[in-house]
Amino acid sequence: FCKLSYLFINFALGSRYVSKTATKSVSEFEYDAPSMKTAVPGPKSQELLRQLGEIQNVGAVHFFCNYEESRGNYLVDVDGNRMLDVYTQISSIPIGYNHPALMKVMTNPNNVSTFVNRPALGILPPENFPDKLIESLLSIAPSGMRRVQTMACGSCSNENAFKTMFIWYRERGYANPSEHEVDTCMINQSPGCPDLSILSFMGAFHGRTLGCLATTHSKAIHKLDIPSFDWPIAPFPKLQYPLEEFVRENAQEEARCLEEVEDLIVKWRQKGKPVAGIVIEPIQAEGGDNHASPDFFSKLRNIARKHGCAFHVDEVQTGGGTTGKFWGHEHWGLDDPADVVSFSKKLLTGGYYHRDELKPDKPYRIFNTWMGDPSKNLFLSEVLNVIRRENLLEVVTRSGKALLQGLYTLQTQYPHILSRARGQGTFCAIDACNDATRDSIMIKARNKGLFMGSCGEKTIRFRPALVFKEYHVHQLLNILNDVLAEHK
């Protein structure tokens, strides 16, 4: 049966790539296919779940992993199940498990000290810190940006990006704070702590610390019971698919959202809580893989400029090559796409770039103990070398096309189950008819050796590593087809 479905998919996709990629992508360190021994989670995972449950809430744990045995695109669990992993630790493993280039970083004796002595980067950086920033983060800097600040994680990156925008917004027009501002800020009151706001979008996810959480609107469970800020929230376009059939409707929908953005900026200014910055993801990920057109982002960027708001593009999930370009916003084709770009996940270190105008005027305004971790920068340098050497952005573009084409075929074949296949590079998604069906498909696929992620209400999201080749695309589609055929 598996064989039959494989042939079917080959036919549907056009079989011309199959034999070529099949030989090419079985590199010396990777496995060639999933291999399942038990249902997942297996007995060993279940025993460990019980143990960890005494210490933490384990309701979100899928299974326990054997990371030593995992290779490339294949994640091995403690029960010996080997799965094709297209979720990659919530999209944070850039070049697969145990990539030989990263193993080498570990065994290079020159690197030991960087791991053992974590510095307070803001006061006592290591000798090679400027060089490492130049060869890693600055070599991939977004258009127009020469300044970068590392942070430990995505939430800290966005929190500090927001602070950078607040500081920038307030500094126009005066140099030093008044005594009254100094006094009031110490007790959380205006004007020292001013009523400024960040405009975000319904469906957005920018993190879960209290500042970030005020701009996150993807799922209630993230926000319930946590105090928040009265900041404006605009609608994000709800596009209808297939796009080519709804050109007019989608353009109207985007225009409606942009109009609402301008209304909110005016309204919050009148409220005395002016919008210092607008934050947006190039593709809303956690919120359900919601896309908008380059035209929408271009117009939004202009609105930000017109109203004197900083424009912050959150590339925590879209950054690092997964869309086929290094940054998701490069698809907009703008010379001046953003004032701030934040990142984390596939870049291994968190942080954000910003334009010169947004540099803080004084030290200790953007500051914490560690300000990132140079050992993550070491890995990032090597990841970038691998991306260049192995032309991984081309691989992503090629695999992404095959994946999306395969998803189109599946939704044509199973229209009562699947719809709205969409994606950029391998950053792809498809909707199930409801959440129960989506969850059931994911569990069945997992038991056949395909580990996927979910997002939004009923969406399956694909977040493979950059080393995900067409060979792996076909494995994915075969398993998904098998599951759907049983569902039919």
* Residue (198 or 402) nearer to a copy of itself, CB: 198
CB of 470 to a copy of itself, least distance (A): 24
Kindly name the residue from 64, 166, 205, 451 that is annotated as catalytic: 205
Q: Which is nearer to a copy of itself, 4 or 436 (CB)?
A: 436
For a copy of itself, the binding residue among 1, 107, 248, 416 (CB under 8 A) is 107
| Residue 57 in contact with a copy of itself, rule: CB under 8 A | yes
In terms of CB distance, is 88 or 478 closer to a copy of itself?
88
Cβ atoms of residues 167 and 254 within 8 Å = no
Query: Does 120 sit near a copy of itself (CB under 8 A)?
Result: yes
User: Coil, strand or helix: which one is 83?
Assistant: strand
Is 369 considered catalytic here? Answer: yes
**Does 210 interact with a copy of itself (rule: CB under 8 A)?**
yes
Verify binding: residue 163, a copy of itself, rule CB under 8 A.
Answer: yes
Among 15, 113, 240, 252, the residue binding a copy of itself under the rule CB under 8 A is: 113
Residues in the chain: 488
Q: Is 155 in the site for a copy of itself (CB under 8 A)?
A: yes
Q: Is 52 in the site for a copy of itself (CB under 8 A)?
A: yes
Q: Does 175 bind a copy of itself (CB under 8 A)?
A: no
**Segments of 222-362 assigned E as strands:** 233-234, 275-280, 310-314, 340-343, 350-354
Phi, psi of 432 (to 5 degrees): -95, 170
Read off the amino acid at residue 24. K
205 is catalytic: yes
Provide the sign of the torsion angle of the four alpha carbons 47, 53, 55, 60, taken in this order: positive
Both tokens assigned to 59? 């309701």
Q: Does 283 bind a copy of itself (CB under 8 A)?
A: no
Binding positions for a copy of itself, 125-144, rule CB under 8 A = 125-127, 129-130, 133-134, 138
Phi, psi of 11 (to 5 degrees): -65, -45
CB contact at 8 A, 73 and 450: no
- Binding status of residue 149 toward a copy of itself by CB under 8 A: yes
Do the Cβ atoms of 218 and 461 come closer than 8 Å? no
Q: 358 in helix, strand or coil?
A: helix
**233-234 sheet: strands from edge to edge:** 147-151, 350-354, 340-343, 310-314, 275-280, 197-201, 233-234
Which residue in the set 84, 102, 309, 340 belongs to the binding site for a copy of itself (CB under 8 A)? 102
Where are the extended beta strands (E) located within 204-349? Answer: 233-234, 275-280, 310-314, 340-343
Q: How far is the CB of 144 from a copy of itself (least distance, A)?
A: 15
What is the C-alpha separation between 16 and 27, in angstroms, rounded?
A: 20
Q: Within positions 64 to 93, which residues make up the interface with a copy of itself, using CB under 8 A?
A: 64-68, 70, 75, 78, 89-90, 92-93
Smallest gap from Cβ 272 to a copy of itself, in A, equals 12
Tell me how far apart the terminal alpha carbons of the chain are, to the nearest angstrom. 15
Nearest to 481 by CA among 450, 436, 456: 450
- Whether 314 is catalytic is yes
Does a cis peptide bond (omega within 30 degrees of 0) precede residue 191? yes
Q: Which of 16, 28, 175, 363 binds a copy of itself (CB under 8 A)?
A: 363
Active-site residue, from 77, 79, 289, 314: 314
Q: CA–CA separation, 30 vs 238, rounded Å?
A: 40
Q: Does 379 bind a copy of itself (CB under 8 A)?
A: yes
Element spanning 422, H or E? strand 418-424
- Annotated catalytic residue within 345, 376, 448, 469: 345
Nearer to a copy of itself, 121 or 304 (CB): 121
Nearest approach in angstroms of CB 139 to a copy of itself is 12
Q: Name the segment binding a copy of itself (CB under 8 A); options: 49-57, 334-342, 384-392, 410-418.
A: 49-57
Residue 299 binds to a copy of itself (criterion: CB under 8 A): no
282 binds a copy of itself (CB under 8 A): no
Query: Taking CB under 8 A as the rule, does residue 180 contact a copy of itself?
Result: no
Q: Are 395 and 321 in contact (CB under 8 A)?
A: no
Report the residue number, 73 or 411, with the smaller CB distance to a copy of itself.
73
Binding mask 322-361 for a copy of itself (x = CB under 8 A): ----------------------xx--x----------xx-
Residue from 10, 18, 62, 235 in contact with a copy of itself (CB under 8 A): 62
Q: Is 370 exposed, middle or buried (0-12, 13-18, 19+ CB in 10 A)?
A: middle
Query: Taking CB under 8 A as the criterion, which residues in 213-232 touch a copy of itself?
Result: 214, 217, 219-231
User: Which CA distances in Å does 408 have to 166, 241, 242, 403?
Assistant: 44, 11, 10, 9
State the catalytic residues.
205, 314, 345, 369
